Amino acid sequence: MIASEYSTNRASFPRSELDKHRGLWIAFSPNGTRIVASGKTLDQVNQQVVAAGEDPNEVVLERVPAPEDDVCLGSEEFR
């Protein structure tokens, strides 16, 4: 994974796509251009990543806050 490539792609990832995964863990592709898997638990996500033929050590994990989560968003989330 090239960190700058991931950061650039993740920052421009469509908010509408993230909204589909509210309250779930997601695994981003190493370059940050797509969601490889999502689930309520990291174990579920890991199983999906493996089933998709991806290397679990190469994906980037992130939890998408649920609407009821009390979250302080950073400036990048307001783009």
pLDDT digits 0-9 by tens, 11-42 = 999 999 999 999 999 999 999 999 999 999 99
Cβ within 8 Å of residue 29, ≥6 positions away: 35, 36, 54, 59
Q: How many residues does the chain have?
A: 79
Check whether 76 has a pLDDT greater than 60: no
- Of all helices (H) and strands (E), which one includes residue 61? strand 60-63
How far apart are alpha carbons 20 and 57 in whole angstroms? Answer: 24
How far apart are alpha carbons 33 and 13 in whole angstroms? Answer: 7
Kindly report whether the global pTM for this prediction surpasses the value 0.85: no
What phi and psi values does residue 72 have, to the nearest 5 degrees? -105, 110
